[in-house]
Chains A and B, each alone.
Chain A
Amino acid sequence: DTEVTQTPKHLVMGMTNKKSLKCEQHMGHRAMYWYKQKAKKPPELMFVYSYEKLSINESVPSRFSPECPNSSLLNLHLHALQPEDSALYLCASSQAGGRGTDTQYFGPGTRLTVL
């Protein structure tokens, strides 16, 4: 089973709202990722969690706040977003450490629209 699930599928929010995106995997993976993807562009890495600790933050604005409550769950908390933050947000997971742990498996994404 290589399934990564994401909720919600679609989200519309105002610039003053607070919302959260959720990602879940049950493959025993210990690395989880958030990507942002604009239309017709490749995904851009935002954050990486490895063994529930934040290991990479690609200089993402503080209005995006990641959280990894346990090894299966990854959240992205959103606050005071801008219209240019509208995009597809993809979650991925992989094993962490060692050869053969390279492959990232992606969820179906959350389409976010900021009004």
Chain B
Amino acid sequence: AQTVTQSQPEMSVQEAETVTLSCTYDTSESDYYLFWYKQPPSRQMILVIRQEAYKQQNATENRFSVNFQKAAKSFSLKISDSQLGDAAMYFCAYFLGNEKLTFGTGTRLTIIP
């Protein structure tokens, strides 16, 4: 069974600084998808970034980028120029294509003004 591990329950960063959230996963598959979702106190689960495993190029979305290391099964999220609105719970998720999204336990990110 696939598992997703987020080893940092909580992180904090100074506003305008850069922070990296860690995620590792376990799978024997070669073709899959990885996601970072953000869940602010408003509760809505918002897609931050998506990575296809067969693509070697790391995905980027504005201030958000990933470091995808397929051999190491690592998928970290870097947030540059952190803003107060980035404060949220961040979930890493794995998807094989069988409709089941496997989530990590989440990392709560606090932005310090």
Contact = CB atoms under 8 A, between A and B. Distances in A.
B54 to A, nearest CB: 9
Contacts, number: 49
A48 interface: yes
Nearest to B46: A106
Interface of B: 33, 35, 37, 42-47, 50, 89, 91, 95, 97, 99-101, 103-106
A41 B47 CA distance: 17
13 contacts: A33-B99, A40-B89, A40-B106, A41-B106, A42-B91, A42-B105, A42-B106, A50-B99, A103-B47, A104-B101, A106-B37, A106-B46, A109-B45
Given A41-B105, A42-B105, A106 B44 contact: yes
Given A41-B105, A42-B91, A103-B35, A111 B43 contact: yes
B100 A45 contact: yes
Interface in A55-94: 55-56, 88, 90, 92
A43 B103 contact: yes
A79 to B, nearest CB: 24
A9 to B, nearest CB: 9
Contacts of B105: 41-42
A106 B45 contact: yes
Contacts of B33: 102-103
Contacts of B89: 40
Contacts of A103: 33, 35, 47, 50
A31 B97 CA distance: 12
B44 A102 contact: no
A63 to B, nearest CB: 23
Interface string A104-115: 111111010000
Among A33, A55, A103, chain B packs the most CB atoms within 10 A around the CB of A103
Contacts of A40: 89, 106
Contacts of B95: 102, 104
B97 A42 contact: no
Given A102-B33, A102-B95, A42 B44 contact: no
A50 B45 CA distance: 21
A25 to B, nearest CB: 14
